Structure 1
Amino acid sequence: MATQLDLQEQEQLDELKAFWNKYGNLITWVLVLALGAYAAWTGWNYWQRNQGTKAAAMFDALDSAARSGDAARVTQVFGDLKSNYPRTAYAGQGGLLAAQAQYGKGQADEAAATLGWVADNASEDEYRTVARLRLAGILLDKKQYDDALRQLDGAKAAGFEALVADRRGDVLMAQGKKDEAKAAYQTAWKDMDSKLEYRQLVEAKLTALGAAPAASEVAK
């Protein structure tokens, strides 16, 4: 009986060896790739969490500097944030905050440069669009109308269509293109939520151009 069992075990071993000789390398490579992919995925998640934590701390420092009105510190911290953690959401958000602080201190050129970085590099489309809207405003003040319109052409995040149209109207008005400005304001007014107070400002612009919305439309 023992001999019979030994023979069966030997046959099983021989079959296993033959199988491994035929498929062993393939199985090994599949396992290596699977384990490597898992390790990479785990490492990436850890790296992302680590990056996010560090970026959040840096954003807090930027926010503190902005609240204290220290524009120089704001610029310095934002420089570090965009250099070290450019693909985090904090970089885009920090850029908008930094530009606001810079502009508030009369540093329009610095604010424009910061907004330009956010417009080109922020990870979130919403941040890029807000940056382009604000940058278009600065360019409008500097009478760089064509550059302002180009920024608005790139502002494409969903939900911002009315604000983009309104700012486009402002630029076109400054260029003396009243008919085009009126069309832009009309688009802004129609696309904007009637509950927003800002819509009344757009309505005032249309009224000044002799194109006040009909009372029936305003009541909707």
Structure 2
Amino acid sequence: MASPLDLQEQEQLDQLKDFWRRYGTLITSVLTVILLALAAWNGWNWWQRSQATKAGVLFDEIDKAVIAGDADKAGRVFGDLRDNFGGTVFTAQAALLAAKVQLDKAQAEAAVATLRWAAEKAADEGYRRIAGLRLAGVLLDQGKHEEALAALPKDSEGLFAALTADRRGDILLAQGKSAEAVAAFGQALKAFGNEGDYRRVVEAKLIALGSPLPAAAAASGVAR
């Protein structure tokens, strides 16, 4: 004769079987999805680490090329990074380094191409803005004023907004548009705020153009 404990255990077992019959497939499916998601996440992290490691090796090569002043090698290594690891921060950094040595070695067109890629496709927004500013400067030096204006970063904020406005003023001044240049330099001063050595450069530009400084800027100049 079954004891009360045996009957209780049998009842619990029957309930468990009934529960599993109703929800077992769903539970198995959910667990499978979770395990697959974890596997995919781990795989993605591994791939990211692998990409970063490989890109880091190439970045070391481009760093050595820059130190040696080898613009040709820097350009080749950057091309490898761009084609194979374009989504890494290493590639954005490498673009700025490669462009610098290319300019130093009078390879202006190569530098323009390098900076244009970084300005448009670098993974990090900050590097895109830096590249855009440098690209605009190179195009300004080449006398390509409209292209330089088009290369300036869009929707910049903070320091980038100030630097962008200042560079826009330089380009407009080179075009002979003094009034518009003064307005751009004024925007740069406003974006810089009341501190920073670079704003003094902008103030000097306005003074050279015979434009009065904004009240706040003039007051800070007296304070100095």
Tell me if TM exceeds 0.5.
yes
Within-5 A mapping of 1:1-220: 6-154=6-154, 156=156, 158-192=158-192, 196-213=196-213, 215-220=218-223
Give a deviation string over 1:24-54, Cα, whole Å, max 9, x none. Answer: 1100110011111111111222221221122
The runs of at least 4 aligned residues of structure 1 exceeding 6 Å deviation read none
1:158 Cα deviation after fit: 4.1
55 and 153 in structure 1: CA distance in 2 versus 1, 3 angstrom threshold: closer
Give the 3-state SS of the residue equivalent to 1:106 in structure 2: coil
CA contact (8 A) 1:78 1:98 kept: yes
Residues in 1 aligned to 2:151 and 2:15: alpha-carbon distance in whole angstroms: 70
Aligned partner of 2:39: which letter? A
Give a deviation string over 1:118-139, Cα, whole Å, max 9, x none. Answer: 0111111110001000111111
Give a deviation string over 1:42-88, Cα, whole Å, max 9, x none. Answer: 12222212211221121111010011011111011101111111111
Residues in 1 aligned to 2:12 and 2:107: alpha-carbon distance in whole angstroms: 81
5 and 191 in structure 1: CA distance in 2 versus 1, 3 angstrom threshold: closer
Unaligned regions of 5+ residues in structure 2, if any? none
1:12 Cα deviation after fit: 3.2
Give a deviation string over 1:143-200, Cα, whole Å, max 9, x none. Answer: 2222211121526254211111110001111111110100111222333265543333
Residues in 2 aligned to 1:13 and 1:25: alpha-carbon distance in whole angstroms: 18
95 and 25 in structure 1: CA distance in 2 versus 1, 3 angstrom threshold: same
Residues in 1 aligned to 2:40 and 2:219: alpha-carbon distance in whole angstroms: 61
- Between the aligned residues of both structures, percent identity stands at 52
Give the 3-state SS of the residue equivalent to 2:159 in structure 1: coil
Provide the aligned C-alpha RMSD in A: 2.0
More divergent stretch after superposition (186-195 vs 40-49): 186-195
Residues in 2 aligned to 1:144 and 1:63: alpha-carbon distance in whole angstroms: 30
Equivalenced residues, count: 220
Residues in 1 aligned to 2:43 and 2:222: alpha-carbon distance in whole angstroms: 57
Aligned partner of 2:121: which letter? N
Give the 3-state SS of the residue equivalent to 1:219 in structure 2: helix
CA contact (8 A) 1:204 1:212 kept: no
TM-score normalised by length of structure 2: 0.89
Residues in 2 aligned to 1:69 and 1:195: alpha-carbon distance in whole angstroms: 36
Aligned partner of 2:221: which letter? V
Aligned partner of 1:36: which letter? L
CA contact (8 A) 1:102 1:111 kept: yes
Aligned partner of 2:100: which letter? Q
CA contact (8 A) 2:133 2:153 kept: no
